[in-house]
Amino acid sequence: MRLKTEDGGWSPYLAGALVGVLAIISVYATTQWMGKTHYLGASTTFVRAAGLLERTVFPDRVAANEYFTKEKVRVDWQFMLVLGIFFGALIASTTDKSFKLESVPPTWEERFGPSIGKRGAAAFFGGIVAMLGARMADGCPSGHGLSGMMQLSVSSFIALVMFFGTGVIVAGFVYRRRAS
């Protein structure tokens, strides 16, 4: 088993195992220093970001919204964690020269051509549907997929099977060319 990939990345087994170590340290650190165990997650931050943005235009609407009230619109630990992912990826990619400005992903271009508008529209509507799903299921591949599985949560096993199972079916329809 190689520890490096051809493009200078790390073996996904190694990088993944280190995320496991990070998850353990993080639950310990948050419990010790914040008084409550926090698990890695990402999708709730999108609710808080939506609330913060919407609040600048319709403050009363956000204040009166049951879901925003429940999830508390504020820049908390997880919000900063999600921002941190951006900087971590920036540091990793610029130091090993894998940083690349890309306007359309290669796999997408192969199937649907180089149009940024087409890619942008699909990603935007895909994003709306995915976030509705993640909030309904109360987690995404971070909260359910990583943190929930580590805790052996029943809901996370089922959520992960649904995420991946549906993803496989839909991706098959969207990206596979018919053999004609």
Partner 1 sequence: MSFDQILGLITGILFGFLLQKGRVLRFDKQVGAMLLQDMTILKFMLSAILVGMVGIQLLASFGIIALSHKAMNIGAVLAGGALFGCGWAVMGFCPGTSIGALGEGRWHAVFAIAGMVVGAAVYAELYPIFKSTVLAWKDFGKIGVVEVLGISPWLIIPVFFTGIIWLFVWFERKNL
Residues 99-138 that bind partner 1 (CB under 8 A): 99-108, 116, 119-138
Binding mask 36-75 for partner 1 (x = CB under 8 A): xx-xx-xx-xxx-xxx-xx----------xxxx------x
Contacts with partner 1: how many residues (CB under 8 A)? Answer: 134
User: In the complex, what is the shortest distance from the CB of residue 114 to partner 1, in angstroms, rounded to a whole number?
Assistant: 11
Contact 71, 48 (CB under 8 A): yes
* Binding residue (CB under 8 A) for partner 1 from 63, 72, 84, 113: 84
The residue (of 107 and 180) whose beta carbon lies closer to partner 1 is 107
Report the candidate in 6, 3, 27 with the shortest Cα–Cα distance to residue 17.
3
Amino acid at 105: P
Distance CA 164, CA 132 (A): 16
* Binding residue (CB under 8 A) for partner 1 from 56, 60, 168, 178: 168
Distance CA 121, CA 119 (A): 6
Give the burial class of 110: count Cβ atoms within 10 A of its Cβ; 0-12 exposed, 13-18 middle, 19 or more buried: exposed
The residue (of 92 and 180) whose beta carbon lies closer to partner 1 is 92
* Binding residue (CB under 8 A) for partner 1 from 80, 114, 177, 178: 80
Distances (CA, A) of 172 to 17, 95, 116: 29, 35, 22
User: In the complex, what is the shortest distance from the CB of residue 148 to partner 1, in angstroms, rounded to a whole number?
Assistant: 6
Amino acid at 87: F
